[in-house]
Amino acid sequence: MDQKKDIRALSKDQLRDFFISQNDKAFRGNQVYEWLWQKGAHTFEDMSNISKETRKMLTENFVINHIEVDDMQQSNDGTVKNAVKLHDGLVVESVLIPTETRTTACVSSQVGCSLNCTFCATARLKKMRNLNPDEIYDQVHAIDQQSRLYQNHKLSNIVFMGMGEPLLNYANVLKAIDMITSEEGLGMSPRRITISTVGLPKMIKKLADDEVKFNLAVSLHSAIDEVRSKMMPINDTSNLAELMDSLQYWYHKTKRIITFEYVVWKSINDKQKDIDALVDYCKKVPSKVNLIEYNAIEEDGFKQANPKVIENYVRVLENNNITVNVRRSRGKDIDAACGQLANKKV
C-alpha cells in the first residue's frame, strides 16, 4: 500500500499551494491549517466547515498522525500522567503538573533516551526514535485541554523534562516550539518554556546563535568531573569546563540566567567539597539552582541525602547570593515524577 503523506509535515504555504494545484482556493489551505494546529483535529471528518468532497480528497491524499492519549492516571496531588500513543504504536509519557497559580506541561522529546544517566528510568529504555514536531505539539495541545477541563484555566508553562534529550532532537523541538508560540498554534510565550538538557556544549552554543527566546535548564548534579561522570556518562565526552564555556556563551548572547538541576544523593555528592564546587561553578555564570528530590527507581542503590545536607546546600548557596529552590516531587504515586517516566507497559 502507498504510504500517504503526513499532512502536518506541510507548511502553511505548501498547504495553500496544494489547494491551488487542486483548482481550489489558497484560502482553503488556511482553513485546513487552522483545523490541524489550533483546533487540534484528529481526523479530516472533524473539519466541519470543509466540504464533504474536499474532506474525501484530503483523506485520499494524506493522513493525520495525531497522538492518542491511551491512558490517563491522576495522582492524589492533582498531577496527571498521560500514556501517549504515537501513530506507529510506540508510547511516550507526558505530565500535567498543577499548582495554585499555574499549570505546567512536562513533555517528551524522544521515545526512550540514549544517554544512560545511571539514576534515570528512561535510560533503561533504549532510544527508539525522535518525536516529530507535531507529536511534541500534540502533547502540549492535549495538556492544555486537560488544564482547561480540570483546572479551569489554560496551560501556563512547558518544560521539556519528559522522556529523551531535547537537544539531540534539535530541529524538531525547535519547530514544535515555533508552532506552540505562534498565534496560529497555541500562542504561548517562549518565556514560559524551558528546555532541560544533560548539557551538550555544541548544541547550547547553537541555541544561543539561533537566538531562541525560551529558557535553559541544565542537569548538573555535580560540579566535580569524577562525580558527575559516574552519574552521567555524557560528562566523559563534554566535561564541566566545556559545559561552562557554552553556558557563558549562552548568557553572553541571550542575557538569560541558567537553571541548574541538582539532586543530592547520599554518599555521592553530600560532602562540603561538593557544595563548595557547586558554589564556585554557579559563580562563573548567572544562574540559579533547583534542588530536586530524588525519585528512587527499582533497586538502583541510590538514596536521597539526609535532609540536613540539603539544608546545608541551601544555606551555603544563599550565603553566596545564589538563588536556590527546593523542588518537592509531584505525582510520585503514579510514577509521574522526574526520572520516573518509562512506560511500564512497553
Judged by CB under 6 A, does residue 198 bind ligand SAH?
A: yes
Among 58, 67, 161, 207, binds ligand SAH (CB under 6 A): 161
Judged by CB under 6 A, does residue 170 bind ligand SAH?
A: no
Q: Which residues of 237-261 are buried (b: 16+ CB within 10 A; e: fewer)?
A: ebebebbbbbbebbbeebebebbbb
Any bridge partners for residue 63, and if so which? 6
Among 135, 165, 270, 274, binds ligand SAH (CB under 6 A): 165
Judged by CB under 6 A, does residue 231 bind ligand SAH?
A: no
* Catalytic residue list: 93, 338
Max CA pair span of the chain: 72
- In the complex with ligand SAH, the residue whose CB is nearer, 186 or 264, is 264
Contact string 69-108 vs ligand SAH (x = CB under 6 A):
----------------------------------------
Q: How far is CA 140 from the centre of its chain?
A: 10
What is the smallest separation between the CB atom of 240 and ligand SAH, expressed in angstroms? 15
What is the smallest separation between the CB atom of 151 and ligand SAH, expressed in angstroms? 23
Among 139, 146, 219, 235, binds ligand SAH (CB under 6 A): 219
Among 32, 107, 120, 208, binds ligand SAH (CB under 6 A): 120
Question: Measured between alpha carbons, how far is 87 from 63 in angstroms, rounded to an integer?
Answer: 10
Q: Which residues of this chain interact with ligand SAH, rule CB under 6 A?
A: 119-120, 161, 165, 196-198, 219, 261, 263, 292, 294-295, 297, 338-339
